[in-house]
Amino acid sequence: MLSEREWEALQYGARERVTDTEVEHIRDLPRILPAAFSSAAIRAQRAGIDGIELHYAHAYTMAAFLSRTNCRNDGYGGSRDNRIRVPLEVYRAVRRAVGDNYVVGCRFLADECIAGGSTLDETVFFGVEFAKAGMDFLSTSRGGKFDDAKQPSVGAAAYPYTGRSGYECMPQYLSDEAGPFGRNIPATAAIRGAVRAAGMETPVVCTGGVHNFEMAERMLKQGDCDIVGSARQSLADPDWLRKVAIGHGHAVRLCEYTNYCEGLDQKHKQVTCQLWDKLALDEAGVKLASDGKRRLVAPEWNPVMQ
């Protein structure tokens, strides 16, 4: 008879978890992580980076500490107060390292999108506590967990965007009934509302399937967030905000949400966009990807030619 852990290993592949406290380097994570993050923050500051975002989301260690699935019994798991201890200790170590006048925020999950994961009540609590701690901004995401990632092929690494939670993080245009756009808005709005109700003005960033100016503007006007994040659309057209600002919205190259770019990333290839990587390959001075078949950067836009 297989144990639950053995059955999961057969289904999803063997992997370490923050709850494997019988392993010394995992047991010591609460002691190690604050110094690791703060030293990285100092390097970023010395390199001239304007600010940093602590990654508390997706398949990363800090997200695992925050998760409702974290059942450590050493004071860093179980209750939501215990699960947020390491993230707060990391933030405080980083703040001490870089000073009060340096921008430090974090990205965390508004919804884990996994069975037994954190509820909205808990993620709202996390957001309020992060704001109370003094973070300069909160950036939300969703899903992208190892918990439901597919079993990798022999010789390959597990990839956290292959299960339901991965789909929720980066939905495709051919979607379920909820559609691919703005799936993270309701949960983010709830977190922002709770932060405001607690008397704080910490800016909240919302990401997830934002692909046009009207949608982004509506999110801001409705108070869903204070800042809109849009990665895939910005890859499809790095000039899209500039085009809209100067009256050339018709020229915006709209993301088709096929996750072509994500597929390249999954295979550890240079990431490009299928909407522009085959355009004008013989153009003078064009930079090509290492395979010699794709543009490495988007075509330069000239408004005079539009």
| Segment 228-256, tens digit of pLDDT | 999 999 999 999 989 988 999 889 999 98
Whether 262 is in a domain gets the answer no
- Domain with 112, as residue range(s), is 4-229
pLDDT recorded at residue 172: 80
**In the chain, how many domains are there?**
1
pLDDT recorded at residue 9: 65
Whose CA is closest to 206, among 198, 218, 197?
Answer: 218
pLDDT digit string (tens) for 193-224? Answer: 999 999 999 999 999 888 888 999 999 999 99
Whether 212 is in a domain gets the answer yes
Whether 270 is in a domain gets the answer no
Whether 285 is in a domain gets the answer no
Q: Are strands 103-111 and 138-142 parallel, antiparallel or unpaired?
A: parallel
pLDDT recorded at residue 248: 92
Q: Judge whether 167 counts as a catalytic residue.
A: no
pLDDT recorded at residue 13: 64
- Any idea what the CATH number is for the domain that residue 63 is in? 3.20.20.70
pLDDT recorded at residue 159: 82
Q: Which of 12, 56, 60, 91 is catalytic?
A: 60
pLDDT recorded at residue 179: 77
Whether 299 is in a domain gets the answer no
pLDDT recorded at residue 88: 98
Which stretches of the chain drop beneath a pLDDT of 70? 5, 8-14, 304-306
pLDDT recorded at residue 193: 98
